[in-house]
Amino acid sequence: MTKILKVLKNLCCLAIVVGATEMGFAQTRPTTTPPPTTGTSPSTTPRASSVTTPASSTPKPATTPAPSGTTTAPNSPQKPVVTESSLPSEDIYIDDIVPRRMITENTVLPYESIREADIPYSKRVWRIIDTREKMNLVWRSEENSFFNTIKDLIGNGEITAFNDEFFKEPLTYEEVEKKLFKVETIEGFDFEKNEQTVNVIKNTLDWKNIKKFRIKEIWYFDKNYSILKNRILGISPVLDEYVEAINQTIEQPLFWIYFPEARTHLAKVRVFNDNNDMAPMSWADLIDNRYFSSYIYKKSNVLDYRIVDKYDEKSPTRDFDILLESEKIKQELFNFEHDLWEY
């Protein structure tokens, strides 16, 4: 009797489990709408099934509500997150194949040390660089002219401008700016107020009007190496200024810069290369290698005369004689070194 009761009990439990399993299968089974049979009217709609599909068991990601006062455009791209390790914008948007750093990170080599006893001979020479010559067109580059370069260095306080070629009278940037513009007054008459008016106009100097540069240099003989060397001391931009009193145009130097000081900063400024855009070259390289055309207008003498002071202004061959005298001084410097050797 006990065994029969146990068997009945097990059968009841099995029936309950099977029934529960069939109910769960019926709930999860998708409902399909039977296709309409031929002959039925289009207005006949199938009866909606009363079986509800349970929600998916896959959890949905939680969405963070937008802060108040902000709207999010649909399908808008997300902005990149900038971190400390991200590339700066100048390394992403560059007007070149690769960033140019060879010149900006360049370190100029200092001048070699030399004693006063090692210089048995020296001569001071003043030259003029005419930027209108073909070899000197880089000095008038639209992208980075030499005048704008030294003007920016003076404005940043990196180099000092001097009022004289002996580097004894330093100028402030405000004093340099006064040399770079002119203040003119124009008188007029206001007929409505019946009074005379005076208008003050400030004309800024255009760098394109700087057509010449003066260079002061020293040629000296180094007996340790037995060669004639040169070292540039100063550079000055020259402005052609018309003077009404004498009805003549005179060359007026604006200021002087001490080249050994400016050389360190000019070594980090790129110079346009007409032959190869990728070839690195700085202003210090160009000047140290003397990649420019110039002519001598003065050498050190007792009376401090220039070459132009030796010839009459009314002479028809005056300009030609000045060039010949300039070439004569160049030849004298060459012959001095050449005559020291025996062949």
* Token pair 């880089």: residue: 138
Phi, psi of 284, rounded to the nearest 5 degrees: -65, -40
pLDDT at residue number 80: 55
Residue 214 pLDDT more than 70? yes
Contact 296, 127 (CB under 8 A): yes
Query: How far is C-alpha 88 from the geometric centre of its chain's CA atoms?
Result: 16
Query: By three-state DSSP, how is residue 234 classified?
Result: strand
Taking only the tens place, the pLDDT of each residue in 62-107 is 444 444 444 444 455 565 555 555 555 556 788 778 777 778 788 8
Taking only the tens place, the pLDDT of each residue in 296-323 is 999 999 999 999 988 888 888 988 999 9
The C-alpha atoms of residue 201 and residue 320 are separated, in whole angstroms, by: 41
Residue 45 pLDDT more than 80? no
The C-alpha atoms of residue 186 and residue 196 are separated, in whole angstroms, by: 11
Residue predicted with more confidence, 104 or 234:
234
Cβ burial of 134 (10 Å; 0-12, 13-18, 19+) is exposed
The C-alpha atoms of residue 266 and residue 286 are separated, in whole angstroms, by: 10
The single-letter code of the amino acid at 102 is: M
The C-alpha atoms of residue 127 and residue 217 are separated, in whole angstroms, by: 8
Taking only the tens place, the pLDDT of each residue in 248-300 is 788 889 999 999 999 999 999 989 888 888 777 899 999 999 999 999 999 99
The C-alpha atoms of residue 154 and residue 176 are separated, in whole angstroms, by: 9
pLDDT at residue number 336: 87
Residue predicted with more confidence, 7 or 123:
123
Which of 341, 301, 292 lies closest to 325, judged by CA?
A: 301
The secondary element (H helix, E strand) that includes residue 9 is: helix 2-28
Which of 214, 210, 207 lies closest to 294, judged by CA?
A: 214
